[in-house]
Amino acid sequence: MTPAATAEQAAVWHDAEKQRFKVARRSFVSPQILRDEYRTIFDQCWLYLGHESELLKNGDFVTRVVAKRTLLFTRDAQGKVNAFFNACPHRGAQVCRERKGNAKSFQCFYHGWVFGSDGALKSQPASDCYPEDFNADGSANLVAVPCLDSYRGFWFVSFKRDIESLADYLAGAKEWIDVVADQSEAMMTIVGGTQEYQIRANWKLLTENSIDGYHAINTHATYVDYLKNSNGSMSPVPFEGTGYDLGNGHAVIEYRAPWGRPVAQWIPLWGEDGKVELAKVKARLVERFGEARAERIASGNRNLFIFPNLVINDIMAITVRTYFPTAPDAMQVSGWALAPQEESAWARKYRLSNFLEFLGPGGFATPDDVEALEQCQRGFENLLEAPWSDISKGMKKEKVNYDDELQMRAFWTEWQRRTNARAGI
């Protein structure tokens, strides 16, 4: 029997003996829980900031909003990567109002203070009105984020000074990041700009959806039918795979699927020239990693989730996606396409076609998913009468399938540990 949604009951209910796992739907609608999530999760975890390929040259910069903070992500004149709060130490105005670019310095438009790409104060109008040692302690420089680190080209920030190392935090997820990063001998690179959109649903619904193999055939039936009816768009590979709990709330599903992958699963639609092209890519992977790992990189698909809000989908193309809640029933989503820097123009063409066709905001998948999540949020209006969501699929198995729900349980277990949220209204 499911317990009542009382004030004392934990928001995540797990009965291992009866193989049941439920989540209180209050978690998706409560303003108090959202405030607690920012305090106990977003202010306490490593959060994705950007990719090394966005800062290729000295002076390159990107501005980004991370957990309600506006940040300035730079590579300075010495080649060092930095992240600063985008606020002038003088009166608080943003010192950089552009989305990205290349600059030796940033001048605050309000009073004209100038800062280098390393964050150091370079000059200020009427400097003779300040003492000579005004910035001797560095307090007039841009304020750096407390923690900044990277793994395989993915840069993260944390607003908690004494947080564990990024490598320890990523735990078992590092293996799957390696599988993505190893697709390039040079470096993986962000292709094009940022795709941004909003969803009128709680952010945790997108977490669930991103590692949910169960919904794909039903929710995305139109895409599967499209592939079947587009001559040569599918290989005979069946959908099959496994889900994994990677520790610290991270999780992944890894599986085989019938669509084409530019690294390096050929489909007839891509013709004989494409077959030759991908055979060369596969052969090089075998040289570098051996047959087994080359096959995993080339033919495996993976939906990787890094707690609390980073998704790397390495499927028919690669997308990097983050999302932050703006209200209990709203989130802001940002997505980027990722690809091997050195891949051919032929492979890049089909990669971006795959990306836009399925993963982009106007593709087959994303509108379906948005509709599903917003329908869930509407369903939560019945909270009093229907207070629990069930996430029990696959609990009775020793080895779960990619379409079971182990992955979501990994997320929710960590979420409950951090928030200590209650089920009652």
Domain boundary among 167, 191, 225: 167
| 269 and 229 co-located in one domain | yes
Instruction: Report the distance separating Cα 213 and Cα 226, nearest Å.
Output: 19
CATH number for the domain spanning 74: value is 2.102.10.10
Place of tokens 């004030």: 7
128 falls within a domain: yes
Instruction: Report the distance separating Cα 238 and Cα 176, nearest Å.
Output: 22
pLDDT along the chain (425 residues), means of 10: 74 95 97 98 98 98 98 98 98 97 97 97 94 93 98 98 98 98 97 94 98 88 79 79 97 94 91 94 97 96 98 96 98 97 94 87 88 97 95 93 96 98 85
Q: Tokens for 224? A: 């599967």
| 260 and 363 co-located in one domain | yes
Domain boundary among 125, 141, 167: 167
pLDDT at 414: 98
| 125 and 247 co-located in one domain | no
pLDDT at 425: 62
Place of tokens 């984020």: 145
pLDDT at 219: 86
Total domains in the chain come to 2
Domain boundary among 167, 195, 226: 167
21 falls within a domain: no
Question: Among 345, 253, 349, which residue's Cα sits nearest to residue 302?
Answer: 253
Q: Which domain holds residue 94?
A: 47-167
149 falls within a domain: yes
| 156 and 209 co-located in one domain | no
| 157 and 277 co-located in one domain | no
Question: Among 21, 16, 181, which residue's Cα sits nearest to residue 170?
Answer: 181
φ, ψ at 252 (rounded to 5°): -155, 150
pLDDT at 2: 65
| 149 and 272 co-located in one domain | no
Instruction: Report the distance separating Cα 372 and Cα 395, nearest Å.
Output: 24
| 193 and 159 co-located in one domain | no
Instruction: Report the distance separating Cα 415 and Cα 407, nearest Å.
Output: 13
| 216 and 318 co-located in one domain | yes
pLDDT at 97: 96
| 253 and 365 co-located in one domain | yes
146 cis-preceded (ω within 30 degrees of 0): no
